[in-house]
Chain A
Amino acid sequence: MLLKTKLKSSDKLSALQMLALCPALAVTTTLSRSLAISGALLVSLTLSAVLVSVLRKRISVKLRVPVYLLLSSFSVTMVYLIMRAVFPASVMALGIYLPVLAVSCVMIMRLETFSACNTPGPAALDGLITGAEFSVIMLGCGFIRELLGTGRLFADPFGQGGLKIFPAAPVSFLAQPAGALLLIGAGMAVFQYIQIRSEKKAAAELETV
């Protein structure tokens, strides 16, 4: 039930949430890097959502944002240590972007609006779903940027190896930071276009009835 209502509301990813994603977008140059950063975001978001909802009655209203930040930084540290042990290469490739996840707006926004007033179960689910949404966006971005920006697919986090799809990079501009922003802007425009059209269709149907 909750999953359904959640999925419905997430149809309209708010614009601010898209912007909140930006620091993580900078690393989505390849699919493997996107996978690493979105996995880290998914796990640490879920972990900190559970932590916040468990402690929600003990967090004072005045100090809530510092406490959320501290809890999210602890969960990101945990994820960092685990990733460093299991996937050392991806941690090297992510560099300074992994710790910075702790202060990303996505994290604090979800913690403040949902986890702080819900029990651990729904909070964990919310963390998982939000993380999955952003993962889909980041993986899509990584896929397009790697395919068109480098002409290859499935390279390792340092951009070595991988399948050669095109002889040369078709749109090498996409591999640069500005390419990610342009891609997201265009993606959001497409999204908005579909929304406007469906609204128009609904209005037209109303008129014919």
Chain B
Amino acid sequence: MEYVLLLLAAILTDNFVFTKFMGIEQSFVSSEKASTALKGGGVVTAVSLVGGGLAYLLYRFVLSPLEISFLTLPVGVLLTTAVVAGLEAAAAKNSALEEMLRAQFPMLTTNAVILGAVFLAIQQDLGIGAAFLLFLGAGIGYTLAALAFSSIRERLCHCTPPAAFAGIPIMITAAALAVMAFSGFAGLHFL
């Protein structure tokens, strides 16, 4: 039960995109349509689970016992880029998959959700299982945010805001309203 609550908290109340603004630029840029948002979210979830999971395991069993935990950041960056490169190589063999994912790859390595989740797990000193659930929740939360932003962008295509607000300002303002709506989940108190 506790684990279910942890997962729900990572998705809803402590959503990385909405409450910490991590990966907000990626979820904005890569969410032209609901389908691209879903694909991007799936890839981020996969990288977060594998890359983030590896980084956390390395921190728990190598870096922390050796007292060189300040190296977590370079190690985490290396591992996530390695996982992204591996995914890219795996996708290269399947042309349909490659085409589907090509747009997502440049944004993946600079996605703060993955590293943010690793550092949050370290900060809260989570166990291995709980940490993996946090990484899963971070990925699902990112997908949710990207989906929300894709719908917002579709709606914004059909409206004409004042000239001063045209373009990015109205998008940011709309995102702020979405964030405000999402903060309603804060009343749930899972943990």
Task: Tell me the A residues contacting B by CB distance below 8 Å.
Answer: 15-16, 18-20, 22-23, 25-26, 65-66, 69-70, 73-74, 76-77, 80-81, 95-97, 99-100, 102-105, 108, 176-182, 184-186, 188-190, 192-193, 196
Contacts and interface: CB of A to CB of B under 8 A. Distances in A.
23 contacts: A19-B168, A22-B21, A26-B19, A69-B109, A81-B70, A95-B123, A96-B116, A96-B120, A100-B112, A100-B115, A102-B77, A102-B115, A105-B110, A108-B110, A177-B19, A177-B20, A178-B177, A181-B176, A188-B168, A189-B165, A189-B170, A192-B164, A193-B163
A15 B111 contact: no
Contacts of B29: 16, 19
B18 interface: yes
Contact of A182 (B85, B165, B173): B173
A91 B116 CA distance: 15
Contacts of A18: 168, 172
Q: What 9 pairs across the A-B complex have the smallest Cβ distances?
A: A181-B176, A15-B168, A185-B172, A185-B173, A193-B164, A182-B176, A96-B119, A178-B179, A178-B180
Interface in B154-191: 163-173, 175-177, 179-180, 183
Given A18-B168, A80-B70, A189-B164, A103 B173 contact: no
Contact of B123 (A96, A103, A182, A193): A96
B103 interface: no
Contact of A102 (B28, B73, B166): B73
Contacts of B112: 23, 100, 103-104
A16 B23 CA distance: 13
